[in-house]
Amino acid sequence: MSSTDLMWVTGGPQGSGIDTAANLFARAVAKAGYYVYGKREYHSNIKGKHSYFETRVSRDKTSSCMDAEDILTAYDPETIFQHFMQVKKGGIIIYNTHNDTEDIEHIISLENALKERLFEFFHKREMKGTVKDAIDVAKENGALVYGFNMEGEVAVLAKKLGEAQLGRFNRYVNTLAVALSTSILGLSKAHIQNAAGDMFGGKGSTLQENIDVIDLAYELTSDLPKYRVTLTDIPYSGHRVLLDGNTIVALGKLAGGLRFQSYYPITPASDESVYLDMNKNVRLTDSTIDGPAIVQTEDEIAAIAMANGAALTGARSSTATSGPGFSLMVEGLGFAGMIEIPVVITYYMRGGPSTGLPTRNSQADLLFALSAGHGDFPKIVLSSGDHIEAFYDAIRSLNYAERYQMPVIHLVDKALANAYAVIDEAELSTSKVKIERGAILNNREDNYKRFRLTENGVSPRATIGSGNIYWATGDEHDELGHITEDPYERDSMYEKRMKKLVTADKEIPESERFSYFGDESASHIIVSWGSNKGAILKVIHTLKEEGIDIGFLHLRMFSPFPKGINRYLTGKKLIDIESNYRGQCAYLLKAELGITTDSLILKYNGRPPSDNEVYSAVKDIIVHGTKKVVLTNGV
């Protein structure tokens, strides 16, 4: 049996049901036993601009996408113009012939820069630039095209069903498009109908109408040849869930005993808080229903201040934000560092600076997160590479915060935050991690000193309301928490705080701080972090099949920096891969270990690196010793 691994893409104007269409597809193919990794790309806009979902369907788990599409499913004209060049030779385009005469000039949502590139492209071919022209070019490139008048077909169906308002049925065009594609992929009709059942069950006539539209799609395609790779049922075991990065972090936080989250709305972070708010009444194993208070604040300054305040009472507290919000949180972060508050900040990275690319991927905030705040103070900074890591990192972040009584910044890049993945439920187990609250004082202690100087820097922490009285100040302070400017006291308190990071460095195992993949004897080692992990794992696998051994060091904790990685890196040719301009992780390797990276693969156009481009860049570096490759793929 061939190992199924294909890319399916659909797109359309924002607000027209792209998420629903992609969700329907993902659920349907998952029911046949396949894993799915879905990348969501969208504009900072509510309605009208182009958004799309790229979905990888495979037998094995994946956490990345390929550039070349197997199936493009398009019911609107812009999707054709955005993606027709990405369809691979032998790939399939399912499109809406209703749009044949639409041309680029009249699609107002097309961005000018793309419009100009397309004009030039079609002009060279002496074409006007209609949907039909694009389809013809795709055909020349070897795509197989299946055209349907989707509105027409839906209207006929509506009439047949005795539906008076034909317009109402137009919303089923995307269901039709998805079902046409699953039929051509040879997916059992029952799976997509069941998927529709999951999504629309209990919503009146909607489900039946979706079922009828799916029947229609399978009828229309019954005589057409199937794609060369078909999605026949494959065996699976256990339950599987479909989750995005924001939601899996929220689930991790709930598992980790989160009891307070404050936030200010920001993309791509607020979906996490909204999910928490909708699911805040949490069932515990003893059947009680408890859960966190979720508070929407007036700004990010208040968000971190509230989380700090809540943390002082013993409630596990966090906030979630993105770059612009984190910029505002910095003073609160420093305060948490100074008065030793266990608080977690989930930092979803998007393109900056300033408002930047609000809905696009970036890893340009690593150095900012590490150095945020005036003065020296300890903080833990970690980042997740995929959904499973994000789940456990969310739990562990709450543990680290309490064990070391300091702020923890959990970095999640946008690509991961918005990526959907089919995951084996057994992989999300609450029995794999314990709750560790560190030195917490539950009883009254005479002459209690909140900032008592200790061997490891960690002072027993009383929570407000636990019977102990203490003082705390953002000024330098003595053990009681009163202001001091005495030079000796300053030294001992400063050193006490910083010592906690040394303690954390000693105690947190390497397995929670980095992962090494591949052969340790390889001459070339890729160093990377965050969601690039998925594409890099694919690439080292492919290269191995070609007989090239490459190691991959995936860094997951940056503070305290795991110096132990040195043993994997010395004497190797190092390739650093990051989604930023400067190579921030490479800079850290230099600063922390004195190691110089040999080559950089960078990407900063707001789209995550794909397997293909990482592969080509790595190959280029191995063969030609290229020093720097900038990746530019993406729509």
Partner 1 sequence: MAFSSFKTDVWVDWCPGCGDFGILSALQMAMAEYKKPASDYAIFSGIGCSGKIIHYVNSTGIHNLHGRSIPMAIGAKLANPRLEVIVAGGDGDMLGIGVGHFVSAGRRNVDLSVLLFDNGVYGLTKGQAAPTLPRGIKTKSLSEPNIDTNLNPIALALTAGYTFVARAYAYDIKFLKDLIVRAMKHRGSALLDILQACPTYNDINTKEFYGSRLYKLEEPDWDGVVRKPEEWNDKYSKAMQKALEWGDKIPIGLFYQNELVPSYEDRISQRLTAYAERPPALQSISTSDGTIMTDLSELLKSKRVL
- Enumerate residues 426-465 that contact partner 1 by CB under 8 A: 428, 430-431, 433-437, 444, 463-465
Member of 15, 474, 564, 625 binding partner 1 (CB under 8 A)? 474
Region binding partner 1 by CB under 8 A among candidate stretches 77-85, 132-140, 472-480, 627-635? 472-480
How far is 202 from 206, CA to CA, in rounded Å?
A: 9
> What is the nearest approach in angstroms of partner 1 to the Cβ of residue 412?
18
How far is 7 from 29, CA to CA, in rounded Å?
A: 12
Strand partners of residue 54: 9, 39
Cβ-based neighbour number of residue 98 at 10 Å: 19
Residue 149 binding partner 1, by CB under 8 A: no
Positions 616 through 635 that interact with partner 1 (CB under 8 A): none
> What is the nearest approach in angstroms of partner 1 to the Cβ of residue 17?
19
> What is the nearest approach in angstroms of partner 1 to the Cβ of residue 219?
26
Q: Print the binding letters for residues 186-215 with partner 1: x by CB under 8 A, - otherwise.
A: ---------x--x-----------------
CA distances in angstroms from 227 to 65, 281, 315, 471, listed in the order given: 20, 46, 54, 70
Q: Which is nearer to partner 1, 307 or 522 (CB)?
A: 307
Positions 393 through 432 that interact with partner 1 (CB under 8 A): 395, 422, 425, 428, 430-431
Beta-strand relationship, 514-517 and 550-555: antiparallel
How far is 484 from 479, CA to CA, in rounded Å?
A: 10
Q: Which is nearer to partner 1, 332 or 351 (CB)?
A: 332
Region binding partner 1 by CB under 8 A among candidate stretches 129-137, 247-255, 369-377, 404-412? 247-255
Cα dihedral 397/399/401/403 (nearest 10): -150
CB 20 within 8 A of CB 220: no
Region binding partner 1 by CB under 8 A among candidate stretches 146-154, 280-288, 492-500, 516-524? 280-288
> What is the nearest approach in angstroms of partner 1 to the Cβ of residue 533?
22
CB 260 within 8 A of CB 293: yes
Q: Which is nearer to partner 1, 117 or 444 (CB)?
A: 444
How far is 602 from 102, CA to CA, in rounded Å?
A: 37
Region binding partner 1 by CB under 8 A among candidate stretches 8-16, 210-218, 287-295, 501-509? 287-295
Residue 234 binding partner 1, by CB under 8 A: no
How far is 168 from 306, CA to CA, in rounded Å?
A: 46
Residue 493 binding partner 1, by CB under 8 A: no
CA distances in angstroms from 623 to 166, 336, 616, listed in the order given: 60, 49, 10
Q: Which two tokens stand for residue 207?
A: 């489900």
Cβ-based neighbour number of residue 485 at 10 Å: 9
Region binding partner 1 by CB under 8 A among candidate stretches 91-99, 243-251, 264-272, 497-505? 243-251
**Closest by Cα among 253, 277, 273 to 263:** 273
**Closest by Cα among 602, 628, 540 to 362:** 602
> What is the nearest approach in angstroms of partner 1 to the Cβ of residue 321?
15
Member of 302, 441, 508, 526 binding partner 1 (CB under 8 A)? 302
> What is the nearest approach in angstroms of partner 1 to the Cβ of residue 141?
34
- C-alpha angle with apex 534: 529 to 535, nearest 5 degrees? 95
Residue 585 binding partner 1, by CB under 8 A: no
Q: Which is nearer to partner 1, 448 or 529 (CB)?
A: 448
> What is the nearest approach in angstroms of partner 1 to the Cβ of residue 197?
12
Member of 93, 213, 217, 339 binding partner 1 (CB under 8 A)? 339
Residue 301 binding partner 1, by CB under 8 A: yes
Residue 470 binding partner 1, by CB under 8 A: yes
> What is the nearest approach in angstroms of partner 1 to the Cβ of residue 287?
8
Cβ contacts of 450 within 8 Å, gap of 6 or more: 459, 461, 462, 470, 471, 472, 479, 480, 481
Member of 127, 145, 207, 295 binding partner 1 (CB under 8 A)? 295
DSSP 8-state assignment for residue 593 = H
Positions 255 through 274 that interact with partner 1 (CB under 8 A): 255-257, 259-260, 262
Read off the amino acid at residue 388. Answer: I
CB 95 within 8 A of CB 150: no
Give how far the C-alpha of residue 605 lies from the chain's centroid of Cα atoms, to the nearest Å. Answer: 16
Member of 66, 307, 369, 614 binding partner 1 (CB under 8 A)? 307
> What is the nearest approach in angstroms of partner 1 to the Cβ of residue 568?
32
CA distances in angstroms from 346 to 239, 498, 502, 552, 629, listed in the order given: 28, 22, 23, 26, 30
CB 383 within 8 A of CB 529: yes
Member of 6, 12, 31, 410 binding partner 1 (CB under 8 A)? 31
Q: Which helix (H) or strand (E) holds 136?
A: helix 131-140
Q: Which helix (H) or strand (E) holds 441?
A: strand 440-441
Burial of 623 (0-12, 13-18, 19+ CB in 10 A): exposed
Is the peptide bond prior to 292 cis by the omega test (within 30 degrees of 0)?
no
> What is the nearest approach in angstroms of partner 1 to the Cβ of residue 582?
31
How far is 22 from 194, CA to CA, in rounded Å?
A: 15
Member of 118, 157, 243, 527 binding partner 1 (CB under 8 A)? 243
Q: Which is nearer to partner 1, 17 or 33 (CB)?
A: 33
Q: Print the binding letters for residues 32-51 with partner 1: x by CB under 8 A, - otherwise.
A: -x------------------
Residue 30 binding partner 1, by CB under 8 A: yes
Positions 44 through 103 that interact with partner 1 (CB under 8 A): none
Member of 94, 118, 180, 305 binding partner 1 (CB under 8 A)? 305
Q: Number of residues in contact with partner 1, rule: CB under 8 A?
A: 88
Member of 16, 18, 21, 27 binding partner 1 (CB under 8 A)? 27
Member of 285, 354, 443, 521 binding partner 1 (CB under 8 A)? 285
Q: Which is nearer to partner 1, 135 or 338 (CB)?
A: 338
